[in-house]
Amino acid sequence: MARSGSRGVVMSAARTVVVTGASGGIGSEIVNRFLAHGDTVVAADVSQEALDTWRARWDSGAPGGRHPSLHAVATDIASEESVAALVQVVQQSLGTVDVLINNAGRFPQTAFEEMSTDEWRQVIDVNLTGTFLMIRAFVPLLKASGRGRVVNIGSGSVFSGTPMQSHYVASKGGVLGLTRVLARELGGYGITVNVITPGLTVTPAAAAVLPEALLAEQRDARALHRDETPEDLVGPIFFLASDDAAFVTGQTLNVDGGRHLL
């Protein structure tokens, strides 16, 4: 039976949601939103320490000091073996997956002529190959759901060609292409595949290191003259995972306050 979620978005009850990069500024807000609406969430992150810290926050106030709908699993999405282990845990514990949100990513800044092959590969391995590995591994569980949703996190840098991030921009461009192909290949199973392209998002960690001049430049370039925050992304992600978006697939939803008018 469907139920009304935040701001009237229709969500099916008791969905199982997998979120990568779950301990980051954006990932943790995604987890918060789905937990708040009664969904079961598998929070995956490469850092066990960061997961433990967030697990303690999520568990605080829960009955018995343990959130009953949260599973936290340390996972390196660039490792085929680690992703396979995550799938095994999810399948044994929960059976199926309704929503997969590929949020994990790396975004170092290095001039193209100074970039090592190792750094290039590390970014591609996480941002693009990691997305490929996660979707491929979870397709059987998404099929079993009968209402599978895949939401990939891209980047508005694909539209602007941000300097010093050639590996990052290339990886996110690949995610856009992969999203479109998989929308066609998986549509026959009722699985939708879409991508969100955020602008520069001010997480607590980013706010501590980003120069104010850069933030001001971004604000001025937007139609909506303010910082972009993780909360700005969670609503669109929630929508794409909902029943309201059942006939939306292969799409790029740009969420950057009007920085790029596509």
Provide the annotated active-site residues: 168
**DSSP, residue by residue, 37-97:** TT-EEEEEES-HHHHHHHHHHHHTTSGGGS-TTEEEEE--TT-HHHHHHHHHHHHHHHS--
CB distance 259 to 215 below 8 Å: no
Q: Enter the DSSP assignment of 242.
A: S
> Exposure of 152 by Cβ count < 10 A (0-12 exposed, 13-18 middle, 19+ buried)?
buried
How long is the chain? 262
Question: Which 3 state secondary structure label does DSSP give 3?
Answer: strand
C-alpha triplet 194, 198, 201: angle, nearest 5°: 145
Question: How is residue 68 written in tokens?
Answer: 């009953």
Contacts of 189 (CB under 8 A, 6+ apart): 139, 142, 143, 148
C-alpha triplet 36, 40, 45: angle, nearest 5°: 95
Sign, Cα dihedral of 205, 207, 213, 214: positive
